[in-house]
Chain A
Amino acid sequence: MMALLVFKEKLKQFYAKFNIYLVALVKFAVGYLTFYLINSNIGFMERFKNPLIPVVMGLLASFLPSGTTAFLAGCFMIAHVFGVSMEVALIILVFMLLVIVLYYGFRPGDGYLLLLVPMAFFFRIPYVVPLLVGLSGSLVSIIPVSCGICIYYIIMYMKQNAGVLTGGTMAEAAERFMQIVRNIFGNELMWVMIAAFAAAILIVYLIRNLSVDFSWSIAIIAGVTIELAVIFIGDYNYNLPVSVQPMVVGVIVSVILALIYQFFVFAVDYSRTEYLQYEDDDYYYYVKAVPKIAVSAPDVKVHRIYSRKTAVRHEKNNGS
């Protein structure tokens, strides 16, 4: 444990020293992965499938705000989808407009969630998202997380049905449009996932704010439990295509990631908790003070000690 804490301190020092480059690097990685994943999953337009595009967009993302990167990724996605189906492109455009106008009009500053949620789904660890959002964000973040889930399922729908959606006459287009809307918004798995994530964010957020010992750890376990419970209830009711094995692996990895996050952000020592009580003119105060675990990274200084022989040789050289 001590070694881990020392490692954490060293990482903190490293971050403090190079944070300008590290933030840019992380933003580059997120930008690159976003555009790479769009290209590899729904890369229908040959013109945009150039492998250099994710690199260039990643470089752009490294100094742009995350909301702008999300907007560019949305435009990129529409451009690809337009190559196959104008109807789906129109639906994505309307969806994007609604999110931008109604939610991002408030400038909440959590545009990165629109990118990270689909990414977590592609890496098969989506269950970590509500845990981290509940631990660090606010309840309003349920909205961008839900939008991220919608984006992922729209991408998956496009990936699986690209062949069926191309071509056709205008009369077929009207019929197809109805079919697409029904398929995208009638996807029970998407709604179950939204419900599971919203419930988990709510539970994690409420529990981590409680004044009980190990509230963060309890919140993580409770969050995962509620996610699984909602998914199983959904599975029972709608007979969803959820395979248990990848889900269990995803949940275990997500819990581990959430615990690592907790270690870095909320390392406290409950054994040294102090309970204080005092008053002023207006209030009585019942204070619970939990000390943070703090260690200082060892400051190693290397002293060079010359052996006797070398020292004698030095003296001789000086003498002659």
Chain B
Amino acid sequence: MLNEEKIRLMTGLAMFEKRAEKDVFPVNRYFKGDYVSGHMIRAFLSYTFSCVVCLGLWLLYSIEEILNTLDIEKLLQMAKDIGFYYVLGLLVYLAITWIVYARRYAAAAKGMKIYQAKLHRLAKKYENQSGQKESEGGKHQ
């Protein structure tokens, strides 16, 4: 016979699995430190790539000005300024990345706890059911 409570539990679990496929399960494979630092390395690379692209565009924009005033000291000062803003922006971007992924990890861990509790309840239901069947079988014999 259909067990309505079990069906409800299993539907809830299936729905959670579908939603968690992208956000929760991949997160759960890592420790928090590994997960967040992995994303911070990716953030570092993508930020650096973006800066290089922007620098290229800026060079195209001001190549004439640079070539007209070929002053080494000025160029060094410019490089220093660029380096300073790069590091400043990198720190801000890494901080944002850390906050976002630390929060995501906490949310995923919380979701996983609920999922495991539901699985535990379902396992108990199965145990109870098989216990009942065995006792019924014993009575018949």
Contacts and interface: CB of A to CB of B under 8 A. Distances in A.
Nearest to A105: B46
A43 B87 CA distance: 41
Interface string B99-128: 010000000000000000000000000000
A177 interface: yes
Interface of B: 42-43, 46-47, 49-50, 53-54, 56-57, 60-61, 63-64, 93, 97, 100
Nearest to B23: A107
B93 A90 contact: no
Contacts of A90: 57, 60
A174 B43 CA distance: 33
B63 A174 contact: yes
A90 B59 CA distance: 13
A49 B54 CA distance: 31
Contact of B50 (A91, A102, A106): A102
Contact of A105 (B43, B56, B60): B43
A94 B57 contact: yes
A98 interface: yes
Given A106-B100, A174-B63, A97 B57 contact: no
Given A97-B50, A106-B97, 14 more contacts: A94-B53, A94-B54, A94-B56, A101-B49, A101-B50, A102-B47, A102-B50, A105-B42, A105-B43, A106-B100, A174-B60, A174-B64, A178-B61, A181-B61
B57 A91 contact: yes
A106 B101 CA distance: 9
16 contacts: A90-B60, A94-B53, A94-B54, A94-B57, A97-B50, A97-B53, A98-B50, A98-B54, A101-B49, A102-B46, A102-B47, A105-B42, A105-B46, A106-B100, A174-B60, A174-B64
Q: Is the interface of A mostly helix, strand, loop or mixed?
A: helix
Contacts of A106: 97, 100
A50 B47 CA distance: 38
A102 B93 contact: yes
B94 to A, nearest CB: 12
Contacts of A174: 60, 63-64
B82 to A, nearest CB: 17
A90 B93 CA distance: 25
Interface in A179-202: 181
Contacts of A98: 50, 53-54
B58 to A, nearest CB: 9
B91 to A, nearest CB: 15
B57 A101 contact: no
